[in-house]
Amino acid sequence: MSSKARSQLSEWQAVAAQAPIWQQRHLRDVWGTKGASTRTAELTRTHDGLLFDFSKQRLDASVLNDLLALAEACELPRAIERLLSGDRVNQSEDRAALHTALRLPATSQLVVEGEDVVPAIHASLSRMSDIVSRIHAQQWRGVTGEAISDVVSIGVGGSDLGPYLATQSLAEFAPPEARGLHVHFVSSIDGTQLADLLDHLRPETTLFVVASKSFSTIDTLSNAETAIAWMRTRISDRARILRHHFIGVSAKPEKMTAYGIPQSNQIRFWDWVGGRFSLWSGIGLPIALKLGMAGFKQLLAGAHAMDTHFAQAPLADNLPVLMGLLQVWNSTFLGINGQAILPYDARLKLFPSYLTQLEMESNGKSVDRLGKPIDYATCPILWGEVGSNAQHAFYQLLHQGTQPVACDFIAPIRRYSRDDDTGSSLQHQQQLALANCLAQSRVLMLGDATRQGHHYYRGNQPSSTLLFDELTPYRLGQLIALYEHKVYVASALWNINPFDQWGVELGKKIATATHSVMTGAASAEDYDGSTQQLLRVIADGRAGWERASSRADKEQLS
């Protein structure tokens, strides 16, 4: 990689020189100018069932060329090669980030530091497959000999969001043998989700999957402990509970063993799989339970196809590269610090949440790869919702607020194949969804300058539209991998490490210390006044201001 600071590269300055023009220029005017007739073709790409139209973004072919030159100057092709070949791209943790290896076909080979990683990956897939067939065939039995009717996945962050997204989005692809099995997700540390769920389940027929790369995340372990306590209301022996009703998925087998999960119930993965990139590993077990192993493999195949495109397509036609460059252009050069993710298909409701972790945890950084502060904006704030619902909620800000926001509109073209009356009514609804999708991106771009006062619509909100034929496991695999690589591309241009999350680690450490204060094992005397006050209120069990600030309470805490 070039040793020059990014902002000193001449290619960076060339891009920066174009920015003021595009901060002023209105997209409405862009479409009216000479040359606009070629704009759509210049700023659209298709690949393997996907159409990516970024002609509603605030740029033209000339800016795109400068961005591509910047990508070359930042040695993006080399960065892509390093990622896919298993180099230690995660510098601060000195390891590879090899999620792409998890989707390699069994016939391929990938030698990383002297060892072919593919056989172990496929051995782990066979183990998953074995577990999945035993559960589907009702051969996996609880302590009392009953078959499993409900699986509860306990995990958080990367050990939860990916499987949750895939199972919710693709539920209709469940094969017949999986239809009787209910798969649930529990993540929150406060126990709410678990408590609500346990009211409806029976210990004898419930199986818990404890998913944690580190097997030390307190959110997950505290939910697991509550689940064990609940099981013990019927079955007293902890070891038998863990043998018949618990599966562990982790990169730390020794910790699963110490916890009491027998080896036969463990699925392992590797340190070189980042948490937010782990749904392709054993962490995807709930997906395989819901979609069958064949469905899970289609998801992997879609992601692998995107990896191949990422590795081979020229930069100018490479979808993740283009998306990453647009991200850098918008946030760093145009100063657009909001990014909305707007799927026009309720099956993708969790896609925005999934991407908030993927993007903000990866690229929410303010130091470069060497730990030096950087002088440009990186990851924007992402959020999103099913687009058609969000139209009735936060779109007001997109239309008339003061913030520029870039939007990703995402929609399948086809849905509902039923021929009956309900089928045609549903097809009509799908058409309405698409009409809304196109209408919104158009209005956000053009605005309406003829209206005044409360009716004034500024417009000029840039967006990309990603259309695909239909939502399938393969397609979702492609989509997720597309965004994974987009994140990597942007990180390469920003010269940051997208694979660590020291901010989150600090939060975990401080939470543990704060809990020690609450249990009386540590003192809060060095804490700030606000936190001391809140601790007093909690210790008191009442949110009354007078009580909280009384001298007696202060003494009790210190």
Ligand X SMILES: O=P(O)(O)OC[C@H]1O[C@H](O)[C@H](O)[C@@H](O)[C@@H]1O
Check if the beta carbon of residue 122 is closer than 8 Å to that of residue 106: yes
Q: Does 154 bind ligand X (CB under 6 A)?
A: no
Q: Does 158 bind ligand X (CB under 6 A)?
A: yes
Choices 213-221, 438-446, 470-478, 479-487; region in contact with ligand X by CB under 6 A: 213-221
Nearest-angstrom CA–CA distance, 486 and 491: 9
Is the backbone of residue 113 left (phi > 0), alpha (psi -120 to 50) or beta? left
> Exposure pattern of 28-50 as b/e (b: 16+ CB <10 Å)?
eebeeeeeeeebeeebebebebb
State the minimum distance, in angstroms, from the CB of residue 504 to ligand X.
4
Among 293, 501, 517, 553, binds ligand X (CB under 6 A): 501
Closest to ligand X by CB, 361 or 553: 361
What DSSP character marks residue 457? B
State the minimum distance, in angstroms, from the CB of residue 491 to ligand X.
15
* Among 359, 361, 385, 484, the one annotated catalytic: 361
Among 6, 103, 213, 347, binds ligand X (CB under 6 A): 213
* Among 200, 392, 455, 509, the one annotated catalytic: 392
Is-catalytic flag, 255? no
Name residues contacting ligand X, limited to 324-363 (CB under 6 A).
361
Structure tokens at 8: 């000193």
Choices 36-44, 119-127, 214-222, 403-411; region in contact with ligand X by CB under 6 A: 214-222
State the minimum distance, in angstroms, from the CB of residue 275 to ligand X.
3
State the minimum distance, in angstroms, from the CB of residue 213 to ligand X.
4
Is-catalytic flag, 508? yes
State the minimum distance, in angstroms, from the CB of residue 320 to ligand X.
21
Strands across the sheet containing 206-211: 182-186, 150-154, 206-211, 246-250, 266-268
Choices 7-15, 139-147, 150-158, 529-537; region in contact with ligand X by CB under 6 A: 150-158
Q: Does 281 bind ligand X (CB under 6 A)?
A: no
What DSSP character marks residue 448? B
Among 153, 217, 463, 495, binds ligand X (CB under 6 A): 217
Nearest-angstrom CA–CA distance, 249 and 281: 9
Structure tokens at 507: 């939060």
Residues in contact with ligand X, counted by CB under 6 A, come to a total of: 14
Closest CA to 398 of 442, 354, 452, 335: 442
Q: How many CB atoms lie within 10 A of CB 364?
A: 18
State the minimum distance, in angstroms, from the CB of residue 211 to ligand X.
7
Choices 210-218, 232-240, 287-295, 463-471; region in contact with ligand X by CB under 6 A: 210-218
Nearest-angstrom CA–CA distance, 161 and 419: 35
Residues making up the chain, counted from first to last = 558
Among 100, 212, 362, 461, binds ligand X (CB under 6 A): 212
Is-catalytic flag, 349? no
Q: How many CB atoms lie within 10 A of CB 355?
A: 25
Q: Does 214 bind ligand X (CB under 6 A)?
A: yes
Say if strands 406-412 and 338-343 run parallel, antiparallel, or are unpaired: parallel
Please report, as a single letter, which amino acid is at residue 98.
L
Check if the beta carbon of residue 303 is closer than 8 Å to that of residue 481: yes
What DSSP character marks residue 420? S
Choices 4-12, 156-164, 182-190, 512-520; region in contact with ligand X by CB under 6 A: 156-164
Q: Does 266 bind ligand X (CB under 6 A)?
A: no
Active centre residues (catalytic): 361, 392, 508
For binding to ligand X (CB under 6 A), which residues are involved? 156-159, 212-214, 217, 220, 275-276, 361, 501, 504
